[in-house]
Amino acid sequence: MSRWWDRYGFRTIIIIVALIIALWIKQTQAAFLSEAYYFVVKPFQSQTQFTVEDRLTNARILELEQSVAELEQQNRQLKQSLDYAETQPVQTIAAPVIARSRDRWWDRVTLGKGSEDGVKPSDIVTGIGGLVGRVTHVTPHTSKVLLISDSTSRVGAILSRNRQFGYIRGKSSSTVVMQFFHQVAGIKPGDEIATSSLSKLYPPGLAIGKVKSVNKNQGAIVEVELSAPIDVLEWVVIQPFESQLGKE
Q: What is the pLDDT along the chain (248 residues), one digit of tens a residue?
A: 555 445 555 555 555 555 555 554 455 554 554 555 555 555 555 555 557 666 667 666 666 666 566 566 656 666 665 666 566 656 788 899 999 988 899 999 999 999 999 999 999 999 888 999 999 999 999 999 999 999 999 999 999 888 999 999 999 999 999 999 888 778 889 999 999 988 889 999 999 999 998 877 666 789 999 999 999 998 899 999 887 665 54
How many whole angstroms separate alpha carbon 24 and alpha carbon 17? Answer: 10
How many whole angstroms separate alpha carbon 20 and alpha carbon 183? Answer: 117
Q: Of 87, 113, 142, which marks where a domain is finished?
A: 87
Residue 211, domain member (yes or no): yes
Polymer length in residues for the chain: 248
Q: How many other CB atoms are found less than 10 A from the CB of residue 81? A: 22
Domain coverage including residue 111: 92-243
* This prediction's pTM: 0.66
Residue 235's beta-bridge partner residues? 96
Residue 138's beta-bridge partner residues? 143
Residue 6, domain member (yes or no): yes
Q: CA angle, 108 as apex, 141 and 102 as ends, to 5°?
A: 110
Residue 216, domain member (yes or no): yes
Dihedral, CA atoms, 19, 20, 26, 32, nearest 10 degrees?
-160
